[in-house]
Chains A and B, each alone.
Chain A
Amino acid sequence: MTHPIQPAISDVPALFSIRNLHLSFPDRAHKPLLGPAPRIEVLKGISLDIPKGQITGIVGESGSGKSTFGRILVRLLDPDSGQVLFDGQDIGSLNETELRPLRRDLQMIFQDPMSSLNPRHKVSRIITQPMKRYGRGGTRADAIAALGKVGLPPEFAERYPHELSGGQRQRVGIARAIALEPRFILADEIVSGLDVSSQAQVLTLLGDLARDMGLTIAFISHDLSVIQYLCDNVVVLHHGVIVDQGPVQTVFDAPQSNITKSLLAAIPTPEIDEDWWAETESF
């Protein structure tokens, strides 16, 4: 298998170097009566560098493999083949025990803040439990400090997730991730469940934290307008293949792929514009 031309997404050194990544799932719907189920290829040889200290947007439609790709970066999923070099170390082939010390550096913020915060635990416990595990504090004061960083008052430490609004829950999710001072954060569709008013807040917050803490973030979204606002670079996935990548402004100004073009053309921008309808893909 020949490698595609190597990605030069940016001049900055890479934190992640992914080479020829493949992943497939068994397709249980089409499993024959006897024998193994056929496999659906979700990622078909992805090679990508994720630059250190920058926010890289990963965009695509449902079924593009973007979330699956993200979950391999934080090793919630195991790749079938290919390399996942994190700071030079191939984490794609490590087992859970070998991964555990590395996990502090690979944090994640989830799409659904209700399901990702344990409903039985108070906010303080949600934030401090991982800190204790890695011997990085975990006192009440640490919880309050982390809440402060995401703009939530100290009394939130004693609340349960269901007592918070969607935007507040997502801030708690961010607080939990940054409290470990990780080197990488995966943000998986973190604003798609939020109201517009809190969307902008959460994005601004994440952008500010990334800058202050020098974080490397992979920001998964189906919404290019959000990516443009937050990210330095963007990668466009389609059916498990990278179809476009580069600095955000370059990709937005001169998209290389028709997929990117149609994604851009489909964003309903808040302005009256009859021309918007002109370019609509047919079914």
Chain B
Amino acid sequence: MADVLTKPFRRRATPMNLRLWLPLVWIAVVAAAALFAPFIAPHDPLAQDLMLERLPPAFMDGSEPGHWLGTDSLGRDVLSRMIYGARIALFVSLIAATATCIFGSTLGLIAGFYGGWPDRIISRLVDIWMAFPPVLFAVLLVAVMGTGLGSVIAAIALIDWTRFARVIRAETMVQARMDYVDSARIGGARRAATLVSEILPNVLPSIIALLMLEMGIAVIVEAILSFVNLSISSDDPTWGSMIAEGRGSIHFAWWVLLFPLITLFLTVLSFSTLGEGLKQHFDPVHK
């Protein structure tokens, strides 16, 4: 009966699957900007021109041709810096989120499937880890390891693996109780093989959704660390440092702050929406 009520609806509920396509398009735009930055950026992101400082965007009075989104307090082109900023944002998010995902999910799968002492050790570790305030922890880690992209990536992975471990452990425990796991045992499968070939495919949609969410979070954490000047050198264009810089001139040059902020917001939103969308898309029952 429940089938009759829900099945035909799901298919129609999301016309053209906008939840999947809108974020994909935006992420593709950002990714293209990152990949082809030298070819599409109208200016050198580092080139200063104090004669052209704080120019407004092209649609306002007093703008200069070629500076579509205006310039900052050192006369650097905002659009070009944002395009180059996408490089750093995506690079960090891709590497950091993947590392976090692999590490955290593996622990989660092991804890959830084997139970017993592996579970007890991993779960206690997660509890202890989560007692640290994450941003402070990140700042502390980077301060100890020194600034730079490598430190930023390491900080993200070291902080956020618990999210994967926790969620994937719970999900694995649910799957481990299903009859198909017993059935694999009856069919002569080894424990490890059961985990990889029976349970993992069922947990994968959640892993992918979390991975996407983590990419968004990595973008934010990178921005936060740039904002407090703990990422890479402040000259390098990152969205976080642009926001930090724009903060000082918000009353007379709002565009320096606003455009990177919107980009950051849309990118993070896209990642998390895409994650949910993909999870639903991969669900064989509710597809």
Contacts and interface: CB of A to CB of B under 8 A. Distances in A.
B120 to A, nearest CB: 16
A106 B188 CA distance: 10
A119 B179 contact: no
A44 interface: no
A76 B185 contact: yes
Contacts of B146: none
B183 A108 contact: yes
A112 interface: yes
A130 interface: yes
A70 to B, nearest CB: 12
B182 interface: yes
Given A119-B284, A121-B201, A162-B285, A130 B180 contact: no
Contacts of B182: 76, 108, 110, 116
B186 interface: yes
B202 A110 contact: no
Nearest to A103: B188
A103 B185 CA distance: 8
Contacts of A100: 188, 190
Contacts of B178: 115-116
A76 B186 contact: yes
Contacts of A112: 179
Nearest to B286: A162
Contacts of A176: 183, 187
Nearest to A71: B182
A216 interface: no
B46 interface: no
Interface residues of B, number: 19
A117 interface: yes
A134 interface: yes
B188 A133 contact: yes
Given A119-B285, A120-B284, A121-B201, A130 B179 contact: no
Size category of the binding interface on chain A: 20 to 34
Interface in B166-190: 178-180, 182-190
Contacts of A228: none
B198 interface: yes
Nearest to B191: A96
B180 A118 contact: yes
A271 to B, nearest CB: 28
A43 to B, nearest CB: 19
A231 B152 CA distance: 68
A25 B110 CA distance: 25
B202 A103 contact: no
Q: Which of B179, B185, B201 has the most C-beta atoms of chain A within 10 angstroms of its own C-beta?
A: B179
Nearest to B178: A115
B188 A130 contact: yes
Contacts of A121: 201
A160 interface: yes
A173 to B, nearest CB: 8
Nearest to B187: A130
A124 interface: no
A104 interface: yes
A116 B188 contact: no
Interface string A75-112: 01000000000000000000010001001101110111
A134 B190 CA distance: 12
Q: Which of B178, B183, B189, B201 has the most C-beta atoms of chain A within 10 angstroms of its own C-beta?
A: B183
Given A100-B188, A121-B201, A176-B187, A115 B284 contact: no
Contact of A108 (B186, B201, B284, B285): B186
Q: Which of A96, A110, A118 has the most C-beta atoms of chain B within 10 angstroms of its own C-beta?
A: A118
B284 A116 contact: no
A115 B180 contact: yes
A26 to B, nearest CB: 14
Contacts of B190: 100
A236 interface: no
Contacts of B180: 115-118
A121 B178 CA distance: 14
B52 to A, nearest CB: 57
Given A120-B202, A162-B284, A115 B188 contact: no
A140 B178 CA distance: 26
Contact of A116 (B179, B189, B202, B285): B179
Interface of B: 178-180, 182-191, 197-198, 201-202, 284-285
Given A120-B202, A176-B183, 13 more contacts: A76-B182, A76-B185, A103-B186, A107-B186, A108-B186, A110-B182, A115-B179, A115-B180, A118-B198, A118-B201, A130-B186, A130-B189, A133-B189
Interface of A: 74, 76, 96, 100, 103-104, 106-108, 110-112, 115-121, 129-130, 133-134, 160, 162, 176, 180
17 contacts: A76-B185, A100-B188, A103-B185, A103-B186, A103-B187, A104-B188, A108-B182, A111-B179, A115-B179, A116-B178, A116-B183, A120-B284, A130-B186, A130-B187, A130-B189, A162-B285, A180-B187
What 8 pairs across the A-B complex have the smallest Cβ distances? A130-B187, A116-B179, A120-B201, A115-B179, A118-B180, A103-B188, A110-B179, A162-B285
